[in-house]
Structure 1
Amino acid sequence: MRRRLICAFVAFVSMCMWSIGQMKAVTVTLTVDEGVGRPAALSRAEQNLSMVLTEINRAQQAKTILTTRGFPMDDFSLRSLLRLWAVTPFYCDDEEVVERCWIFKDGTMMVSHIPLIITPEGENFGVGTYQEAVIEFDSNGGITDFRLALDAHVAESMERCGSVVEKEKQMIIMQYIERFRTAYNQRDSDYIEKIFSDDALIITGKVITVRRNNDFGGLSQKVEYTKQTKEQYIRNLKKAFKRNKWINVKFSEIGENGESGGCAGITRSTVDPTKYGVRLRQEWNSSNYSDEGYLFLLWEFPEDGRDPIIHVRTWQPEWVGGKRQQPDDDISTLGAFDL
């Protein structure tokens, strides 16, 4: 009996290897921002994601289960992947995936916009609904999360910015923005904690000076990003409030078509009408620290009259190494979060 099981397993593995050989492997290239050092773990992250996407394509085409033995995933990410697969199989739509990767201060990494096709039961391979996946990695390149981006939609770049918001709604949103700004100036952490959703995605950043690793030496500047949970962000914010005798935060709207074209400052989701993207220029001045940058807030204004909440907060600098940066649509629009 045991011998039959072993033979069956060997035959199954051989079939999988034959199928993979017939299907071209998905190659993954992850890029980093200019001035950001490329960590060694990024290559492992590319290889690990390539392995997972290739197996997903093999299993979807062969209409078989996923062979997850040896997958470079922790228990949480593997369970997430298997739950998604059990509900509706999918496959990667591109044989060559090239995407920007966030590199966080603690060495962890995150990539979004991984193209997937969701294939309902009974449909042929190559036909389905477009979705995008978000993948997170630990500091060694191992996969720690595999999830679908919410409400991903196929859309042209300008449509992904969102729809134009009527003036009345803009005024209401700006009223809440002003309350939000005032809370920082008043060091009111209770209000800020209340206005963020419990599962909010918060990305903060600061410009740091580093020594170049080349023959010429010298100093250069780069942006150091940190991804935080709501709990972590509020805890660190309270510490910042205690360190600074005073804080003065100013927001100014990015124009109707962005600083130099692109998405408007306030847009409404074409997928979920309760979601609004707000892009702002932020000036942060305090007794211990100052910076200027672009702030993106993903707000939800529930239709049932409940108080609005913030689901996403991202920040990027306006100046790096003496050069002015433009708002990056990849991190500061509704399209960046598939809305």
Structure 2
Amino acid sequence: MKKVISFVIAILVVLSVSAQETEEQKDAKRRMFIDDFLATYEAAYEKKEIEYIEKFFSDDALIITETKKLKPTGSKETIPSTKKIRPYQTIVENRKEYIRRLKNVFDSNTSIKLSIAGKRIRQHAKYKEIYGVNFAQLWKDQNGGDNLESQMPGFVFLMIDFKHSEQTPTIHVRTWQPKDNIEKEQDKYFLRDFMIYETK
């Protein structure tokens, strides 16, 4: 499925005040942080720790979720068996809307299992404090799919910014795309899909 939405991310770019570390050392530390963060992020879903997840998202965060747009037949949704790609629609949310939806999912489930695999971390070519993180995600909950992302493998992209804090970086973008709606690697979201410009 070709991505049809383009976005511009406005980020205040500042010079780093730490001259003691080389760029290679900073990069290595940030990648280690991302590894640890994803492990804790995974556990936070299972423990339903919404505060941990919420604190990393920017007030202006962009949340993109591709979800099924299927016509109900009786009490069940049907998926056209003759089509390779399911008919999906794109939902765009802000931080407040996303956290509210996630909290509702947490509150309505006694058990949630989140699995992350195939992690890839890329540093922005120009803005070295910014990283793109891609990984495959599988989310299972007790409601058997009563949730945009549950019961289906999908791909998540995060844009993470370390410029204000190395300990609590900011997530500017989160996307989720269902696996069965991805034909080729280029259909996934990456850093290149988001234009960043400097603000003063």
TM score, norm. by length of structure 2: 0.72
Which of 150, 169, 179 is residue 308 of structure 1 equivalent to?
169
Q: Partner residue of 1:224?
A: 89
Compared CA separation, residues 149 and 200, structure 1 to 2 (3 A)? closer
Which of 82, 90, 113 is residue 248 of structure 1 equivalent to?
113
Contact 2:30 2:166 in 1 (8 A): no
What is the CA RMSD across the aligned residues, in angstroms? 2.7
Contact 2:130 2:159 in 1 (8 A): yes
Answer with 1 or 2: which has the greater Rg. Answer: 1
Distance in 1, matches of 2:62 and 2:167, equals 21
Distance in 2, matches of 1:314 and 1:226, equals 10
Distance in 1, matches of 2:161 and 2:128, equals 9
Match status 1:182 vs 2:37: no
Match status 1:281 vs 2:136: yes
Structure 1, 298-307 or 220-229: larger mean CA deviation: 298-307
TM score, norm. by length of structure 1: 0.44
Paired AA for residue 334 in structure 1: L
Distance in 1, matches of 2:184 and 2:110, equals 31
Contact 1:209 1:222 in 2 (8 A): yes
User: Equivalences for 1:1-339 in 2 at 5 Å?
Assistant: 33=1, 101-102=4-5, 112=6, 134=7, 149-150=9-10, 168-210=29-71, 219=80, 220=83, 221-254=86-119, 265-288=120-143, 289=145, 290-302=151-163, 305-320=166-181, 325-328=183-186, 331-338=188-195
Number of aligned residues: 166
Distance in 2, matches of 1:303 and 1:274, equals 9
Contact 1:201 1:311 in 2 (8 A): yes
Q: Deviations over 1:233-258 (max 9, x none)?
A: 1111111112222110111124xxxx
Contact 1:317 1:325 in 2 (8 A): no
Distance in 1, matches of 2:178 and 2:152, equals 8
Q: Partner residue of 1:39?
A: none
Report which structure shows greater RCO (CA 8 Å, sep ≥6): 2
Distance in 2, matches of 1:300 and 1:166, equals 12
Contact 1:207 1:317 in 2 (8 A): no
Compared CA separation, residues 250 and 325, structure 1 to 2 (3 A)? farther
Q: Secondary structure at the match of 2:128?
A: coil
Q: Which runs of 5+ in 1 are unaligned?
A: 1-32, 35-99, 103-111, 113-133, 135-147, 152-164, 212-217, 255-264
Compared CA separation, residues 149 and 169, structure 1 to 2 (3 A)? closer
The Cα shift of 1:303 comes to: 6.0
Q: Deviations over 1:150-196 (max 9, x none)?
A: 48xxxxxxxxxxxxx96554222111111112111111111111111
Distance in 2, matches of 1:194 and 1:234, equals 10
Distance in 2, matches of 1:249 and 1:194, equals 19
Q: Which has the higher helix share?
A: 1
Compared CA separation, residues 169 and 305, structure 1 to 2 (3 A)? closer
Q: Which runs of 5+ in 2 are unaligned?
A: 12-25, 73-78, 146-150
Q: Deviations over 1:21-72 (max 9, x none)?
A: xxxxxxxxxxxx47xxxxxxxxxxxxxxxxxxxxxxxxxxxxxxxxxxxxxx
Contact 1:294 1:327 in 2 (8 A): no
- Percent of pairs with identical residues: 30
Q: Deviations over 1:270-305 (max 9, x none)?
A: 121110000000111111121111100000113654
